[in-house]
């Protein structure tokens, strides 16, 4: 769909609260017997290229500003990536619900997961830039006690 070459890097763990970051992040909540958050993160330049590639406008220069259209494209990419990870995880975790994406663009902001669980981070190189996929899940012994809706990630200090 994107026609971009993506190379995975070494996965690693990150503490619940990581240091300040810049760029575009899309967050999706997951609920079920395992609940948590999935994040797709990239810099504004790659976000613009994702937008042009998603719409098959590779010959068009990427937009210089991070517009609503660019955020929408990153949200959809995150929806596809985290959604497909969820589909794979469901073989082990049982069915999970997934929220619609929330996208944040800014500078020098922190994200923090609500629990004490660390994030599993997989960095990718995409079109020469860094694209990061993070997930943080915790086991919920009694999912019936979860409130309805999606698990809102504890964020953001801007």
Partner 1 sequence: MLLDVLIVDDSAAIRKILQRVLRQADVPLGEVYEAADGVDALKVLGTQKVSLVLADINMPNMDGLQLLRKLKESEQWKNLPVIMVTTEGGQAKVMAAAELGAAGYIRKPFTADQIRHTLASVL
Closest contact distance (angstroms) between CB of 12 and partner 1 is: 26
Stretch of 4-12, 17-25, 85-93, 115-123 contacting partner 1, by CB under 8 A? 85-93
1 binds partner 1 (CB under 8 A): yes
Closest contact distance (angstroms) between CB of 126 and partner 1 is: 14
Contact 108, 20 (CB under 8 A): yes
Question: Which residue in the set 37, 41, 99, 102 belongs to the binding site for partner 1 (CB under 8 A)?
Answer: 99
Question: Which residue in the set 33, 45, 62, 90 belongs to the binding site for partner 1 (CB under 8 A)?
Answer: 90
133 binds partner 1 (CB under 8 A): no
69 binds partner 1 (CB under 8 A): yes
**Alpha carbons 75 and 59: distance in angstroms, whole number:** 22
Peptide bond into 156 cis (omega under 30): yes
Q: What is the DSSP letter of 17?
A: B
**Alpha carbons 117 and 17: distance in angstroms, whole number:** 10
Q: Show the binding pattern over residues 16-55: x = contacts partner 1 (CB under 8 A), - = does not.
A: -----------------------------------x--xx
Query: How many Cβ atoms from other residues are within 10 Å of residue 140's Cβ?
Result: 16
Virtual torsion, Cα 70, 74, 79, 82, nearest 10 deg: 180
* Number of residues near partner 1 (by CB under 8 A): 23
DSSP H/E element including 137: strand 129-139
- Give contact residues for partner 1 (rule: CB under 8 A): 1-2, 51, 54-56, 69, 72-73, 75-76, 79-80, 83-84, 86-87, 90, 95-96, 98-100
């Amino acid at each position: 769909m994107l026609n971009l070459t993506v190379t995975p890097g070494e996965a690693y763990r990150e503490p619940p609260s990581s240091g300040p970051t810049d760029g575009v992040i899309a967050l999706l909540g997951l609920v079920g017997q395992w609940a948590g958050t999935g994040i797709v993160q990239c810099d504004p330049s790659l976000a613009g290229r994702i937008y042009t590639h998603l719409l098959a406008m590779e010959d068009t220069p990427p937009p210089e500003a991070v517009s609503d259209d660019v955020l929408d494209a990153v949200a959809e990419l995150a929806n596809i990536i985290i959604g497909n990870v969820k589909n794979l995880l469901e073989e082990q975790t049982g069915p999970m619900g997934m929220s619609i994406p929330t996208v944040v663009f800014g500078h020098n902001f922190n994200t923090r997961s609500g629990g004490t669980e660390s994030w599993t981070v997989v960095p990718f190189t995409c079109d020469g830039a860094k694209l990061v996929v993070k997930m943080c899940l915790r086991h919920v012994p009694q999912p019936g006690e979860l409130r309805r809706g999606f698990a809102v990630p504890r964020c953001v200090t801007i």
